[in-house]
Structure formats: C-alpha cells, structure tokens
A and B are shown apart, each in its own frame.
Chain A
Amino acid sequence: GDSVTQMEGPVTLSEEAFLTINCTYTATGYPSLFWYVQYPGEGLQLLLKATKADDKGSNKGFEATYRKETTSFHLEKGSVQVSDSAVYFCALSRSNDYKLSFGAGTTVTVRA
C-alpha cells in the first residue's frame, strides 16, 4: 500500500538557519504530494503541494520538488523564523483514492 516516510524529529534550529526535512514515498501510479503544517494547538493546514513529477511547490519561503526518480519530496527553507516552529507532515494522495496518507510528522523548534 501507499506509505510516506519522513525524517524523525525533533529538529531544533536557530533563527535564520537552513531547514530541510526529508520525505520519501511508496505508491503506485502518480500520486499528488503535499506538505501540511500544524502549529501548536491547531489543526493541520496545507503548506504546499505538487501534483506531477518535477513540479515545485512553494509557500511562505518553503519549497519542495516532486522527484519521481528518487520518490522524494523534501521540504526546504533557507532562513527559518521562530514562527516556523510547528509539526510538519508529508502526505500523498492518488486521484482515484479517498485516502490521504501521512508521514509520522517532524517537530521543528526554532530558537531566537
């Protein structure tokens, strides 16, 4: 079945540091890939998405590129802020499926 594997946390960084969270997936066909973010005490919200190979999703300074050859969708941000402290989830879905499969989540803490 479909699965998503993302790097384990927690990750602690200083402000303005570079952030990368690795995500790889296993799925048949051509899934859509997503990054969701969960701020403390809130539900998940979409951060960015990519629907086909080589697509790059970007939002709020975060980027991720859909790499079919390595089945990866790594999340990056060049300069993090304290407000980026959250749990980040990689996810995938297939167009003919009703299931959104999530990775285990990576907790990121950014210190001033």
Chain B
Amino acid sequence: DTAVSQTPKYLVTQMGNDKSIKCEQNLGHDTMYWYKQDSKKFLKIMFSYNNKELIINETVPNRFSPKSPDKAHLNLHINSLELGDSAVYFCASSQRGLAFFGQGTRLTVV
C-alpha cells in the first residue's frame, strides 16, 4: 500500500491552462504539505495543512490554490499556468516532524 500517493506522475500542458494535482495519504497523519522542487533540486515549501486547515502559505502566487476536502487529501489546483511553474511538485504528510513523501508530479508547461 502506497503511503502517500499523488497523481498524475507526469503532466505536460500549455501556458494559460488550469490543472490539478491530487494527493492522498493513508497514514492517518494530521499534517500535509506541498513542496516545489526546481531543476537544481532545491525544495521549497508551498503550503501546509493541519487537520484540513491552512497553516503555512509561503508567498505562493494566488494562481496556486490548495484544497483539503478531508484530512487524508490535499489537492493542488493551478490556474493560468506559466513557463516558470515547470517543476516537480511533491506532496507529503507528517506526524511529529517525520515526513513521508509522494513520488512527485513532474509538471512541464510548454
């Protein structure tokens, strides 16, 4: 059983489109995150949710909107995609600081 699963694994889309990435965890964790990893492997936290409530929003453009319908899910919707949004996006969940990551979604905006 995959602990943190995100879909899709690859996403190629044109500039200006709107897309969503889904994430689910079956670990019973209270906290979930979205991270963006650039081409140099640098990881930047985007959002953190705890029990469905937004806790951290790290100066991410308004075009990015997370949604947590329940504790096990944290989806990421991106409007009006730009070339600079191309990256690998990782979902993660954690309990007491110990994090489990999904496999990542490689987003390519053309």
Q: Is A60 close to B, CB under 8 A? A: no
| Number of A-B residue pairs at CB separation under 8 A | 60
Kindly identify which residue among B41, B56, B100 contacts A87, using a CB–CB cutoff of 8 Å.
Answer: B41
CB distance from A95 to the nearest CB of B (A): 7
Secondary structure call for the B interface: strand
Q: Interface range on chain B: under 10, 10 to 19, 20 to 34, or 35 or more? A: 20 to 34
Per-position contact with B for A71-99: 1 when CB-CB < 8 Å, else 0? 00000000000000001010101110011
Q: Is the CB of A43 within 8 A of B99?
A: no
Q: Is the CB of A44 within 8 A of B101?
A: yes
What residues of A have a CB within 8 angstroms of the CB of B98 in the complex?
34, 46, 49
Kindly identify which residue among A36, A43, A99, A107 contacts B102, using a CB–CB cutoff of 8 Å.
Answer: A43
Q: Is the CB of A42 within 8 A of B103?
A: yes
Q: Is the CB of B42 within 8 A of A105?
A: yes
What residues of A have a CB within 8 angstroms of the CB of B75 in the complex?
none
What residues of B have a CB within 8 angstroms of the CB of A104 in the complex?
40-42
Per-position contact with A for B14-46: 1 when CB-CB < 8 Å, else 0? 000000000000000001010000001111010
Q: Is A102 close to B, CB under 8 A? A: yes
Taken together as a complex, chains A and B put the C-alpha atoms of A95 and B97 apart, in Å, by: 7
What residues of A have a CB within 8 angstroms of the CB of B102 in the complex?
43
What residues of B have a CB within 8 angstroms of the CB of A58 in the complex?
none
Q: Interface range on chain A: under 10, 10 to 19, 20 to 34, or 35 or more? A: 20 to 34
What residues of B have a CB within 8 angstroms of the CB of A42 in the complex?
103-104
Q: Is B86 close to A, CB under 8 A? A: no
Q: Is B50 close to A, CB under 8 A? A: yes
Q: Is the CB of A100 within 8 A of B56?
A: no
Kindly identify which residue among B40, B50, B90, B94 contacts A43, using a CB–CB cutoff of 8 Å.
Answer: B90
Taken together as a complex, chains A and B put the C-alpha atoms of A96 and B95 apart, in Å, by: 11
Kindly identify which residue among B40, B45, B50, B103 contacts A100, using a CB–CB cutoff of 8 Å.
Answer: B45
What residues of B have a CB within 8 angstroms of the CB of A44 in the complex?
43, 90, 92, 99, 101
